Amino acid sequence: MRIDAQPAFVLHARPWRETSLLVELLTRDHGRVGVVARGVTGAKRHLLRAALQPLQSIRIDYLPRGELARLIQAEAIDAAPMLAGEALMAAFYVNELVLKLTPRNDAIAPVFDLYARVRGDLAGNAPLAWTLRRFERDLLDALGYGLPWDSLADDEALEPEARYRLDPEHGPVRESRRGVDSVSGAALIALAADQMPATELLMELRAALRGVLASHLGPQGLRSWGLLGELARVRPRRQE
């Protein structure tokens, strides 16, 4: 059955054969959808090519056909945010995370809304590290992988000065000493309350949340983690 006028965001696009693209979309009502966009390289198709760039908000008509649907029409709803440097790398990370964690053709409405929010945040003035930590937390929650961020498995509240390890299945576990991936109770309490913590606590949250995400992504992880790490070494004062 043909799907018409479906709002979507472009997550990824790559050339296919001589004149076509394979495009991964995050749609509002049908989840992540892969489509084949045929004949997009002609001189008269530049508007369509522009609409199929990553981060673009579009409205599409498509015909589902097994694993890959056939794109019939796409038009831009607005202009994609003009990102550069660290913000652009962060956007690649967000897109890859959504691609790897969301199943195809399985609508999870909160994910579409989360993507719309983080797309706007990346173009704004919010600290980049906090923008990404909030998105990671909320994406895990939306996909059913969320944890009791500010309490132990038995509902005991965390202590701000204590150290914890984030178990991917059970949440915070008390650590007797400061481990490489341990995080302070104060950082987790701030994350749960949606209140940006101090810079050093943001760095702890980055490592702790990456461990949880890695458990759901599998051994290959994400390409963008390596790229973000290289960027951090070049610009050590900023955080991803």
Residues 96 and 171 occupy one common structural domain: yes
Q: What is the CATH number of the domain that holds 13?
A: 2.40.50.140
pLDDT higher than threshold 70 for residue 133: yes
Cα–Cα distance, 156 to 228 (Å, whole number) = 35
Residues 109 and 203 occupy one common structural domain: yes
Inside any domain, residue 165? yes
State the pLDDT at residue 235. 53
List the one residue out of 77, 68, 92 whose CA is nearest residue 20.
68
State the pLDDT at residue 228. 60
Residues 23 and 137 occupy one common structural domain: no
Contact 208, 140 (CB under 8 A): no
pLDDT higher than threshold 80 for residue 230: no
173 — phi, psi (to 5°)? -125, 130
Residues 174 and 203 occupy one common structural domain: yes
Residues 131 and 208 occupy one common structural domain: yes
Give the H/E segment covering residue 31: strand 31-37
Residues 137-141 have a mean pLDDT of 98
Residues 106 and 186 occupy one common structural domain: yes
- Mind listing the pLDDT tens digit for each residue in 144-177? 999 999 999 999 999 999 999 999 999 999 998 7
Which residue range(s) make up the domain with 212? Answer: 85-234
Q: How confident is the model at residue 17 (pLDDT cuts 50, 70, 90)?
A: confident
Residues 40 and 126 occupy one common structural domain: no
pLDDT higher than threshold 60 for residue 239: no
Residues 179 and 61 occupy one common structural domain: no
Residues 35-59 have a mean pLDDT of 88
Examine the fold and report which residue of 55, 76, 97 is the final residue of a domain before the chain moves on.
Answer: 76
Residues 111 and 202 occupy one common structural domain: yes
Residues 106-122 have a mean pLDDT of 95
State the pLDDT at residue 237. 46
pLDDT higher than threshold 60 for residue 236: no
pLDDT higher than threshold 60 for residue 234: no
Examine the fold and report which residue of 76, 93, 115 is the final residue of a domain before the chain moves on.
Answer: 76
Residues 64 and 104 occupy one common structural domain: no
pTM for the whole structure: 0.90
CA dist 196 to 78, 122, 133, 145, 189, Å? 30, 16, 9, 22, 10
Residues 186-206 have a mean pLDDT of 96
- Mind listing the pLDDT tens digit for each residue in 18-44? 889 999 999 999 999 999 999 887 766
The domain tally of the chain equals: 2
Residues 202-209 have a mean pLDDT of 95
Inside any domain, residue 240? no
